Structure 1
Amino acid sequence: MIQNLRLYSGLTMFAYVLTHLLNHAAGIISPEFMETASDFSTGLWKFPPLEILLLVSLVTHFILATGRLTGRRSLRLRKSEWAQMILGLCIPFLLFRHIIATRVIDLGFDVESPYERVLLDLAVFLPSQGILQAITVIVVWTHGCIGIHFWLRVKPFYPKWRNVLGTLAILIPALSLAGYGAAAAEIMRRVEEGGRKYVFGVLEAANVNDAAIAFYEKILIPCIILTIALAVAPFVVRQVRQTIDRVKRGPILNLPNGRTIRVPPGATALEALRDAGIAMASVCGGHGRCTTCRLHCGSGLDQLAQPGQIEAAALKSIQAPHGMRLACQIRPQNDLAVVPLMAPNASARDGRRPGGLSGSERQVVSMFIDLRDSTRLGEMKMPYDVLFILNQFFAEMTEALRSTGGYYAQFTGDGLMALYGHESDDTERMILNAFEGAAEMLRRIEGLNDHLKSELPHALRIGIGIHMGKAIVGEMGPPGRENISAIGDTINTAARLEAQTKGHGVPLVISKTLFDHGPIPLPENAVLHEVALRGKDQSVAYYALDAMPDLTGAMTRQDQKPALAT
């Protein structure tokens, strides 16, 4: 609710600024054209309901923005966030003179403020104020553009329109300043030609009186003090609150590398991590819209407050799995183990990816498949012939995976890595699917041998290693080329088991774990092997098989499960 109020109040003011700058651009033609154009632009904002809306938006936006600054536990911000904050705090100081001279005095002393009178003030009487007004235009516009950029950059359409909007963001203030400068130059020319008669004629027509001038001069110093105080107050309040917070003991964030970070009372996890010097992605600036500050929460998750409306909507949009939270939205009250799930340079596009693929620990079946004697094949065939055969091989293996619910996770030259169960928690089903996949691969390799008999110098053979256990599954790889894969001890073990097929001279090496937890019966003649595999400290038990176990009974039981459940 508060974020929406800050957004919509900012958009309301930006709409006013936009019409104001477009009106300034009319000064390229003449001051009179500026006045005429104002009836269709800035004049609309003098309609009482719109003027009240504008005033309420101004007050609301400033209070919410400074309140957010006061509530920040960390000021480790990106340059763009610092720029938006500092520019926003400068606006009251830069703008109050213009508001008093053109609106407060108008209402309080019945003074008219046509562009001719305003330009006379800024170009002739107070040229330094005229320069300050030009600076104000740039500051206000830049502050608004940064805010709109933060809002839009999480939208899917934004990259397509970003260059167009960026061009307009430069063109509009440039035309506005050009119109302002051209109109001011014209007024100065008229003063030189008309002298005092022209000047007093303009002032008299605008009903500029001594009481209005005296009021402006009297209120100037108090307003300067007030606007400076408004800019400094958030930092003072924040410092006082931090001094009080240091007395309290905040909760601890535990990171995977063993580092611990104390969270100031009331701070978000994002603020605590950034304050500790840990780079974290946050494309939307911590508003809970981009989901790039994703965390996997371990111990302590149950003690976290449930996601609020903003966080819940964001997590739902990416189908976030259990344990995933947004660092910018959670305020830990107890110790919490966290793992950042996205790179510090993650983009808005990354934030739209499904949450389940960002990286989480899952129970999976890992399978490595290797084509035997591929080196000898390369020595006996032309390169293009080898490429053709390998493409046929990978096409068959991929189809075997697709038809049995497996996922092609990694290419390894003359082999591949596959995953089963990366999107399921049904252990028996993932094991059965993996066995079905291995059986389908063996059938397809035989079919490929028959199909390419005239092309092959020897029959194609494969070795398959299968293991099951916990692994970190998620999108991995260089930016823009990520794919779903897995890492961990389970994956390494499966690769080592595949290498054992060569020593045993069999197509299948399957870890004992799959038979212990799955529905597949162990063949009667199977011999258990237990060896310390290369690169591992502990031994691994496995079976070396020259043929697939019988899957018929297990498949029947799996097919009957839904019927029995009903």
Structure 2
Amino acid sequence: MQTLLRRVQLGSGVVLLVYLFLHLLNHALGIWSLDLAGRGLMLALRLWHSAPGTVLLYGAALLHFSLALWTIYGRRHWGLPLTEWIRLWAGLSLPLLLIRHAVDTRLASSLYGFEPNYERIVIALITSGSQGLQLALLAPGWVHGCLGLWLRMRHHATARRAKAVLMFLLVGMPLLSAVGFFRMKQAVLATHTGPLHPDPKLVTHHLTLDTWRHDILVLYLSLVIGALVAGLLRNWLERRRLRKEPVNV
């Protein structure tokens, strides 16, 4: 069972890592032009908004998160090495990105007909003041996925030989993504002389979307804290029971 769970965790993690890679790559294409990044976005939307892509992405996210909750609950101690603490922090931040992305694009598209492109997305991020948050959340998720994959593959000779390339991807992709986003931001600002206005569909339904985002975020944090508290309580009860058991001489 443990072997099966590890394989499910690895498989779901790889799906999420591919999603993040394509997301970062699309942003990086903005270094060359907003149009090129937009074409990359359309290809990504065709992939992830298709029925198989939807099941694959959100199924992988649900599986990976469920296994993360089980791992948090099952921990007998929290004396972790620094690498594990970084991976845990980075992994727990990834759903924050997925929640915002799912609500602002997928839910808005499905319920209200919002058609995402990079100009609309950049304007929405600028006017909401959340462009820094978007970039800040992409990087930890990418770090979490890369570290997890490396910890699984580091014993293979091929992975060790490719360590320099992997380190470049680990550091370079978020940096290129940030540069591409700022270039797209400059391109959008250059084409708008007046104040920026988000898509009317997002303005009309922003209260409903904010409520969805808030409720899902509260549910996510409640599950994480609940798994942690339940695990700590179980550990305390086990230690208490052991102290009360008589010692056989």
Common fold: TM-score over 0.5: yes
Which whole-Å deviations, capped at 9, do the CAs of 1:421-463 have from their partners, x for residues lacking one?
A: xxxxxxxxxxxxxxxxxxxxxxxxxxxxxxxxxxxxxxxxxxx
| Deviation at residue 138 of structure 1 after TM alignment | 0.9
| 1:40 paired residue number | 43
Quick check: which one's strand share is greater?
1
Give, as a single letter, the amino acid of the residue that structure 2 aligns with 1:234. A
Kept after mapping to 2: 8 A contact 1:138/1:173: yes
CA distance in 2, matches of 1:10, 1:130: 25
| 1:59 paired residue number | 62
| 2:151 paired residue number | 150
Give, as a single letter, the amino acid of the residue that structure 2 aligns with 1:178. V
| 1:226 paired residue number | 219
Which whole-Å deviations, capped at 9, do the CAs of 1:40-87 have from their partners, x for residues lacking one?
A: 345322221121111100000010122012101111111101111122
2:99 pairs with 1:99 = no
**Number of paired residues?**
240
Within 5 Å, which residues of 2 pair with 1:271-350?
none
* Secondary structure of residue in 2 paired with 1:113: coil
Q: Provide the aligned C-alpha RMSD in A.
A: 1.9
* Secondary structure of residue in 2 paired with 1:184: helix
Q: Which has the higher contact order (CA 8 A, sep 6+)?
A: 2
Give, as a single letter, the amino acid of the residue that structure 2 aligns with 1:216. L
Q: 1:220 to 1:158 in 2, by over 3 A?
A: closer
Give, as a single letter, the amino acid of the residue that structure 1 aligns with 2:177. S
| 2:210 paired residue number | 217
CA distance in 1, matches of 2:59, 2:72: 20
Name the TM-score, length of structure 1 as normaliser: 0.41
Q: 1:217 to 1:65 in 2, by over 3 A?
A: closer
Q: 1:224 to 1:40 in 2, by over 3 A?
A: closer
Aligned match of 1:203 in 196, 199, 205?
199
2:141 pairs with 1:140 = yes
| 1:237 paired residue number | 230
CA distance in 2, matches of 1:183, 1:66: 37
| 2:128 paired residue number | 126
Give, as a single letter, the amino acid of the residue that structure 2 aligns with 1:126. S
Paired-residue identity, %: 26
* Secondary structure of residue in 2 paired with 1:157: helix
Which whole-Å deviations, capped at 9, do the CAs of 1:134-162 have from their partners, x for residues lacking one?
A: 10111111111111111111212222111
2:181 pairs with 1:180 = yes
Kept after mapping to 2: 8 A contact 1:16/1:42: no
Kept after mapping to 1: 8 A contact 2:30/2:181: yes
Kept after mapping to 1: 8 A contact 2:13/2:145: yes
| 1:516 paired residue number | none
Give, as a single letter, the amino acid of the residue that structure 1 aligns with 2:223. L
Q: 1:94 to 1:21 in 2, by over 3 A?
A: closer
| 1:24 paired residue number | 27
Give, as a single letter, the amino acid of the residue that structure 1 aligns with 2:230. V
| Deviation at residue 209 of structure 1 after TM alignment | 5.5
Name the TM-score, length of structure 2 as normaliser: 0.89
CA distance in 1, matches of 2:117, 2:159: 39
CA distance in 2, matches of 1:144, 1:172: 13
| Deviation at residue 181 of structure 1 after TM alignment | 1.1
**Segments of 4+ in structure 1 off by > 4 A?**
none
| 2:247 paired residue number | none
Aligned match of 2:9 in 6, 11, 15?
6
The answer for unaligned runs of 5 or more in structure 2 is 244-249
Q: 1:39 to 1:114 in 2, by over 3 A?
A: closer
Kept after mapping to 2: 8 A contact 1:90/1:231: no
2:80 pairs with 1:87 = no
Which whole-Å deviations, capped at 9, do the CAs of 1:70-127 have from their partners, x for residues lacking one?
A: 101111111101111122122223442232111111111111111111100112x112
Quick check: which one's helix share is greater?
2
CA distance in 2, matches of 1:39, 1:114: 8
Kept after mapping to 2: 8 A contact 1:23/1:34: yes
* Secondary structure of residue in 1 paired with 2:140: helix
Within 5 Å, which residues of 2 pair with 1:102-121?
102-121=105-124
The answer for unaligned runs of 5 or more in structure 1 is 251-566
